Amino acid sequence: MKVIKKEDLDDFVDELIAKDEREVVGVKSKDSKYVFDKLGKAEELELEYDVTILPPKKYFMPQRETLVEYETREGIEMKAVNEVVPRIIIGIHPYDLESIKQMDKVFADSPEDGNYLEKREKSILIGVNMQQFSEWSFAGSMGTATIEDGYDLMLTDLGDRYAVEIGSSKGRELLEEGSLKIRDAEPEEIEEVEKIEENIQDEFEKELDFSPRNLPWLLAEEYGDEDFWEENAEDCYSCGTCNIVCPTCYCFDVQDFNDISLEEGERMRQWDGCMLEAFAEVAGGENFREERAERYRHRFMRKGRYLYNRFGDIACVGCGRCASQCVPDIADPTNIFNKLWSDKDE
Amino acid sequence: MNKKESPYLPENATILNVEEMAEREKLFEIELDSGDPLGHEPGQFVEVSVPGVGEAPISVSSSPTKEGNSFELCIRKVGNVTNVIHTLSEGDKIGIRGPYGEGFPVEELKGHDVIFIAGGLGIAPLRSLINYTLDRREEFEDIKILYGCRKPCELLYEDEVEEWRGLDEIDYRETVDECPDDVCWEGNVGVITTLIPGIDIDLDNSYTVVCGPPIMYQFVLQELKQKKVPDHRIYLSLERRMKCGVGKCGHCQINGKDGEFYVCQDGPVFNYDIVKDFEEAL
């Protein structure tokens, strides 16, 4: 573990912004909320924040990105495209780092998705331990309040300085790149970080009443309780906001966008959401998840069971974004999961 | 994490021939511009690309045993992409990705009776296997084909069907839901399930392969149950929104209490015994 003074970290970030060829992005405040955005100078960086509106997933799987460029003047010509902007991303909370680890598995699964993987590979992730807590977060219950890997560098606020944990050779190389004033951590500082990480676990207002390891079987058992799903989905607008803000939602649609000549254009993928009514509809009109309750159940099944079955991860990291953004307030996973848990013996 | 070839990049292909089959369906013969065969198994599908319009998943309708390197797609005009495909003609270019998915278990079916039950456009994927069994007739026992559509004018593959009607080596039966008074129709009138009671099924030695519109499955499966056909001897081909074809986009996932499938990778052909408990499958 290393230690750097706060003003030296600011200098380091300013130096990266000025000299590093990668784009430097970090957490900035926007109105009363926070977002990941491009940094113009280090002082814009807000490392004390509760949660960002969107997770950093947008840098590896943009809201809309080109997969293929085509041209149809003579016959057809198509070429694969990947618009990669290498980035240094500063200020990622552990739950978001966990979600990135999960997405890495999804897109590396055969056949590999180079559009995601290359963006991911060319990015540097600088995490930060949480100091503020969203009232909707339950990362403590999901085991994602702190994290041991998945970052290149990890910062912990120690008052006038940051503890810096090196997570990869990419992280080490970044430290070596700048004229950085950094030193080894003292034993007291290491102990302080450990104490901070321990205390973070208890900072969450929301929690699961049980270990999330129970989710896969619990959801299977309660899958058939149609009354339960219908009752809870009753107020759902099918707006898909919970999908859009989720760090582990990665479903997408693909559409062609012609330029004005109508002879060339781009095939783009864009975020899609399983809560949207037409998600499982096929040409001809058949909709295989026509009912709101079916779609509502599907989202929870994805988070707690399906992706676990496929990749071994509980695909809810407890960030609370879905719950905080849901207008009718029916998306809170702790509410649903805890109800299922208490209903299980009935 | 090295840069790999994009799974989303189609190969160029050329339409060699277009045949009108019915009001909404045309048969397209297609060859990859590489000259390579598609390399598909009966029952697999491809993503057909019309740059500027989009992609649509279409099951391959020809058997890999067909001569030459071309393959055939029977396409119903039903959405943005397929509407445009219907305007294309010989020599036009399209994009192809695939073949994708799990097709029919040809090796498992060999040495057994095979009963085909096709409703409407369901004949398109089944034809890849029907023609396979006809081309390698000696590798299979009795072949029965039950084919139903709504009206006589919706019958697809008319020339081939005419051949099937005359073949001694197979038992071909057909039905239409309704027949207008002014149309000559010698086959049965009634829904596809009305053909099932009349056939003999050797329960120990036959496989039944079913494809049709979603509504058809429950009735056909009920009828097969009446016949005491074991569930594991039934194969189905399911339709879903297979947008990416490579198990990523999430659209074709079907779920049940005990698990989940991605139709584009785990299907589109499924053993009924495996999917019967999947609430969203049928």
pLDDT value at position B1?
34
Residue to substitute from B216, B244, B279, interface A, most A β-carbons within 10 A: B244
Residue finishing a domain among B67, B100, B133: B100
- With a CB cutoff of 8 Å and minimum separation 6, the contacts of A102 are A248, A307, A311, A313, A315, A317
CATH of the domain at B177: 3.40.50.80
Provide the β-strand partners of residue A269. A65, A254
Tokens 């896969």 locate to A216
pLDDT at B2 over 50: no
Residue A215 distance to chain B (closest CA, Å)? 13
- The total of other beta-carbon atoms located within 10 Å of residue B61's CB is 26
- Does one domain contain both B72 and B171? no
Average pLDDT of chain A is: 95
**Domain annotation covers residue B3:** no
| B4:A114 CB<8 A | yes
Region B143-147: mean pLDDT is 96
Region A29-46: mean pLDDT is 96
| B6:A67 CB<8 A | yes
- ipTM score above 0.85: yes
pLDDT value at position B183?
86
pLDDT at B146 over 60: yes
The two tokens of residue A187 are 């034993």
A146, HSE (Cβ side, Cα atoms, 13 Å): 16
CATH of the domain at B45: 2.40.30.10
- The total of other beta-carbon atoms located within 10 Å of residue A151's CB is 25
pLDDT at A67 over 50: yes
**Domain annotation covers residue B263:** no
pLDDT value at position A74?
87
Return the residue of A nearest to B5 by Cα.
Answer: A114
User: What would the pLDDT profile of A71-115 be if each residue is shown by its tens digit?
Assistant: 999 889 999 999 999 999 999 999 999 999 999 999 999 999 999
Per-residue confidence band for B27, with pLDDT thresholds at 50, 70 and 90: very high
| B8:A67 CB<8 A | yes
- With a CB cutoff of 8 Å and minimum separation 6, the contacts of A74 are none
User: What would the pLDDT profile of A171-229 be if each residue is shown by its tens digit?
Assistant: 999 988 777 789 999 999 999 999 999 999 999 999 999 999 999 999 999 988 999 99
Distance in angstroms (rounded) separating the CA atoms of residues A257 and A265: 5
* Set of chain B residues whose Cβ sits within 8 Å of the Cβ of A79: 9
Q: What is the CA radius of gyration of chain B?
A: 19
Region B259-266: mean pLDDT is 89
**Domain annotation covers residue B131:** yes
Region A42-51: mean pLDDT is 97
Using a pLDDT cut of 70, give the percent of chain B over it: 99
Return the residue of B nearest to A220 by Cα.
Answer: B257
- Does one domain contain both B132 and B48? no
The two tokens of residue B58 are 């279409």
Residue finishing a domain among B66, B100, B134: B100
Sign of CA dihedral B223, B226, B229, B232: positive
Compute CA A59 distance to the chain's CA centroid, rounded to the nearest angstrom.
Answer: 10
User: What would the pLDDT profile of B35-88 be if each residue is shown by its tens digit?
Assistant: 999 999 999 999 999 999 999 999 999 999 999 999 999 999 999 999 999 999
- With a CB cutoff of 8 Å and minimum separation 6, the contacts of B101 are B43, B44, B45, B242, B245, B263, B264, B265, B266, B267, B268, B269
- Does one domain contain both B137 and B223? yes
* Set of chain A residues whose Cβ sits within 8 Å of the Cβ of B121: none
**Domain annotation covers residue B76:** yes
pLDDT value at position B280?
80
User: What would the pLDDT profile of B85-133 be if each residue is shown by its tens digit?
Assistant: 999 999 999 999 999 999 999 999 999 999 999 999 999 999 999 999 9
- Does one domain contain both B38 and B66? yes
pLDDT value at position B3?
44
Distance in angstroms (rounded) separating the CA atoms of residues B210 and B119: 8
Q: What is the signed CA dihedral for A310, A313, A318, A323, rounded to 10 degrees? A: 0
Nearest CB to A76 within list B51, B79, B253: B51
- Does one domain contain both B36 and B87? yes
Quickly count helices (H) and strands (E) in chain B: 7, 15
**Domain annotation covers residue B240:** no
Between CA A151 and CA A163, with CA A157 as vertex, the angle to 5 degrees is 60
| B6:A82 CB<8 A | yes
Full domain range(s) for residue B55: 11-100
* Most confident residue range from A279-288, A315-324, B235-244: A315-324
* One-letter amino acid of B121: L
**Domain annotation covers residue B178:** yes
Compute CA A205 distance to the chain's CA centroid, rounded to the nearest angstrom.
Answer: 21
DSSP character at residue B120: G
Residue B115 distance to chain A (closest CA, Å)? 27
- Does one domain contain both B88 and B123? no
| A251:B250 CB<8 A | yes
pLDDT value at position B4?
55
Least confident of A101-105, B24-28, B44-48, B256-260: B256-260
- Does one domain contain both B80 and B130? no
pLDDT value at position B187?
86
Q: Which residue has the higher pLDDT, A75 or B138?
A: B138
- Does one domain contain both B15 and B75? yes
- Does one domain contain both B125 and B79? no
What's the structural domain count of chain B? 2
**Domain annotation covers residue B167:** yes
**Domain annotation covers residue B254:** no
